[in-house]
Amino acid sequence: MAKKKILIVVLGPTASGKTGMAIALAKHFGTEIISADSRQFYREIPIGTAAPTNEQRKLVPHHFVGNLSLNDDYNVSRFEREVLDLLRKKFQRHDVMVMAGGSGLYINAVCNGIDDLPDPDPGLRETLRKQWLQQGIGVLQNQLRDLDPEYFMQVDRQNPKRLMRAIEVCLQTGKKYSELRLNKPVKRNFNILKIGLDLPRKELFDRIHRRTDNMFSLGWMEEAKSVLPYRHTNALNTVGYKELFAYFDGVLSLAEAIEKIKTNTRRYAKRQLTWFNRDPEIHWFSADDQKKILEFVVSKVQKTGIAKGHEVQPKDHKRFG
């Protein structure tokens, strides 16, 4: 019987160093990287989403980075199908592939599959959309809290699309969205090894603050101005752009917008950790202990017999930046 190929998943909160770790692993195994960051898909906003730089993408081939435009209609089901199709092709050449990101829903779709949920009801969706536009996102948040408090605690509560989808399913089926979407995981024909990157909260928050300041030095303000015509899209209903749009509208000062970006990014990181901490399959490491991570992954891969890989050399950890 042929041995299963391996998908290494590098996950963790924003600013924890996932890109650097994924590149180190991909270089070690001579393979490629799939992004599971749902905002890095959009080519117009590489700075605000901390997408891999051109230099990083030259080191290792990256997929699902800058592959969409802000006007493109995209969802997690399509991502699941496209990633599985890519893996089928790449596993013909590679024994190991790497996936990296912080979007728990997208990672879960690839690892466990999307549950068999009812198709959206156009009439119901339009009703919910009008409620959101006329009354604000709070009306959706309150409705979901009443219908499914468990999912309400997990979802990105600033994302109207996800709120509306969950409400739709609850109203269409009479069941909780959290119950329906946690049905039997799909068995994949490849092995999955999940590596979580963790940091003390103070260090993580310091990284978030420094990265935010650096993004402005890279031209984030100009990038945000360039996408103002697309501000209505779901892709821009995210931390950073919402605050900058409020600054452009004169609602916030620049100092207030920057402080809100840092505060809301910290909150987002906490939500990411809450999501990931529910998964017992994740092997957690200090984000700074990259040599230990590589040694662990290599030992796991070698035990499967699918890809021997070379031993980790003392010099290997020096190139992980």
- Work out the mean pLDDT of the chain and round it to a whole number: 91
The reported pTM is 0.81
pLDDT less than 70: residues of the chain = 1-2, 115-116, 182-184, 307-321
Residue 74: both structure tokens together: 């995209």
CA–centroid distance for 34 within its chain: 11
Burial of 311 (0-12, 13-18, 19+ CB in 10 A): exposed
At 29-79, the pLDDT tens digits run 999 999 999 999 999 999 999 999 999 999 999 999 999 999 998 888 889
pLDDT of residue 308: 53
At 201-217, the pLDDT tens digits run 999 999 999 999 999 99
Provide the angle, in degrees to the nearest 10, between the axes of the packed helices 241-248 and 254-276.
160
- Could you tell me the domains of the chain? 6-115+184-218+269-319 (3.40.50.300), 122-180 (1.10.20.140)
Half-sphere exposure of 312 (CA within 13 A, CB side): 21
pLDDT of residue 317: 44
Q: Could you give the CA distance from residue 30 to residue 280 in angstroms, rounded to a whole number?
A: 28
